[in-house]
Amino acid sequence: MKKLGKIILWLIGIFLVLEILAITVGYFSKRIKPDTVLTLRLEGEIEEQGPTDPLASLLAGPQMTVTDIVEALDRARRDSRITGLEIRVGESTLGIANIQEIRQKIREFNRAGKFSVAYLEFGTNQSYYLASACQTVVLLPTSLLHVRGFMTSTTFLRGTFDKLGVYPDFYHIGEYKNASDVYTQKKYTAAHRKADQVLLDDLFHQYLESVAEVRSMKAEEVQSLLAKGPYTAPEALDSKLIDRAAYADEARDMVNQKNHGNDTRLSASDYLDRTERGGQSKLAVIFATGAILPGRSSDGPFGEPVMGSDTIAEQFKRAREDSSIKAVILRVDSPGGVTFPSEVIRRELILTKRKKPVVVSMSDVAASGGYWIAMSANKIVAEPGTITGSIGVFAGKLNILGLYAKLGLTKDHITTTENSSIDWPFQNFTPAQRASILKYMDDIYANFLKGVAEGRHMDVAAVDKIAQGRVWTGERAKQLGLVDELGGLDTAVASAKKLADIPADERVNLVYLPPPKPLLERIRELFSGVGIFSRGPALTRWLERLEALARVPAWTLLPAVPEVQ
């Protein structure tokens, strides 16, 4: 442990030296030259916000987030020193709604009279969708444009559970609330298939319309082309899906030619460091990212973000008590989670709303608990492809008695009341326990419907009709009244400015919450029980936490809508 501590201190020392050097160099290199091309590399992990884990923050260094990318494009559009955009597009974690938000900013950049070039080494549905927003799309000559239409699939665990002797005893409210189907079924139910098919068709339609617009085609033409994919680079060129088949160095020369022979480039991260959004009025942007659980926000055992109700509640309190902040934007990217912390967050939103406007900006996913925390805002903004809705509830447990029997283990128990064993994972729910669970679920669903009805100014019966655990795209959710406007964070900012009586043409200062932790605080956390110095292995601690959460009586989680391919 002492040796490990020395290594950590050595790394921290190097980091501090590099930070000082970076600040020194940055001080003398803030000037941006005329005729500069902004460069972006969009691939790999691209998150809504940076890592919350102190060690990850230290070792990974600054990372471009979705918000950073959008902000850089927005600033560059107005900056006369930036003449063009060069994007290297690979496979990334960006969802369709994230891509739509970035595409919109690229399109606005183009309309400002500036050029844009996207380079693909290999094109898929996702990477091509993003690249197609640029005026010029270049593909590696020996590569493929692997566009071929959309599909989705779901892995069902019921067969595995049967082999293991595990029985999934789950219940749900809402015909389409299929979050537990992956445990209880072996294939799509009719409701599950119907919901996924409509969702997939809506997203595909948005894809076709967007590509058709920039490629000067009709949506039917793009659909016909995608039905015949994938394409070799020459075939993609003949089909007018790309503009040129070329190597990276040739694409770079092309950018230089468009930039009047000038080779000056600046990365988006460096550009953000050298410029400021500015503005006198402040708007708070609270990041609500990940599965919703009680406690503090953190990173999960595999790096996935977890939204802690305590953390988000603190940010709302901070924003509403700061008189310099005129409005609050809740940036939601969450599939939902446990019910009661979701209600804790919604309560803080309501308290804040009484003092200043609150606008929700939905990112890639804002469903179930993710919609619960949003439903009472003054305004809700979503991208056309945002996964939203899923107003429903499920609850249950896994009975692992059969698994124990296969291992030669036996269990016995003593109780004082019949419901004493309601959470015990070695028996199914008794009729009385089932009745208790269903009663609680009915109460949660009724409160969900009531909250949506009040927040969206709708009749409860009308909400119930479009609820039932059904997942919608943001575009369809707007038609149903669950969303007010379509757009990204900038649309939410415009809406918040209007509600706060800030002139539309006035630039504002966005205050991102939770704020980045200072370096010294990160170091202190490393040595005070956080990260690798915590008690016990991280995965073990998370398994213990998940076992505890298994006893939570009800969840509001996104149905099993898998990633679109």
- The residues annotated with a catalytic role in the active site are 177, 368
Could you tell me which of 323, 124, 390, 364 has the C-alpha nearest to residue 236?
124
Encode burial over 438-462: b for 16+ CB neighbours within 10 A, e otherwise. Answer: eeebeebbeebbebbbebbebeeee
Q: Which amino acid is at 268?
A: A
Tell me which H or E stretch contains 366: strand 358-367
Task: List the beta bridge partners of residue 56.
Answer: none
Cα angle vertex 244, ends 243, 247, to 5°? 145
Distance CA 189, CA 167 (A): 19
Measured between its terminal Cα atoms, the distance across the chain in Å is: 45
Q: Are 161 and 400 spatial neighbours (Cβ–Cβ below 8 Å)?
A: no
Could you tell me which of 145, 100, 95, 94 has the C-alpha nearest to residue 119?
145
Residue with the two structure tokens 């939203």: 388
Long-range contacts of 144-147 (CB under 8 A, 24+ apart): 144/230, 144/231, 144/232, 144/233, 145/120, 145/229, 145/230, 145/231, 145/232, 145/233, 145/235, 145/236, 145/241, 145/242, 146/122, 146/229, 146/230, 147/123, 147/225, 147/226, 147/229, 147/230, 147/231, 147/241
Query: HSE on the CB side for 415, CA within 13 Å?
Result: 9
Helix (H, G, I), strand (E, B) or coil at 242: coil
